[in-house]
Homo-oligomer: A and B are copies of this chain.
Amino acid sequence: MRIGELAARAGVSVRSLRYYEEQGLLTSTRSASGQRHYTEEHVERVTFLQRMYAAGLSSRTIAELLPCVDSPSEETSDAALERMAEERERLSEHIADLIRTREALDQAMATNRAHRERLRSAVTG
Contacts and interface: CB of A to CB of B under 8 A. Distances in A.
A68 B101 contact: no
Contacts of A48: 104
A55 B111 CA distance: 20
Contacts of A98: 54-55, 91, 94-95, 98
Contacts of A68: 108-109, 112
Interface stretch (A7-15, A16-24, A77-85): A77-85
- How many A residues touch the partner, as a band? 35 or more
Report the copy number of this chain in the oligomer: 2
B100 A51 contact: yes
Contacts of A73: 115-116, 119
A106 interface: yes
A51 B94 contact: no
B108 A99 contact: no
Contact of A97 (B54, B84, B99, B111): B54
Contact of A91 (B88, B105, B112, B119): B105
Interface of A: 48, 51-52, 54-55, 68-69, 72-73, 77, 81, 84-85, 87-88, 91-92, 94-95, 97-102, 104-106, 108-109, 111-116, 119
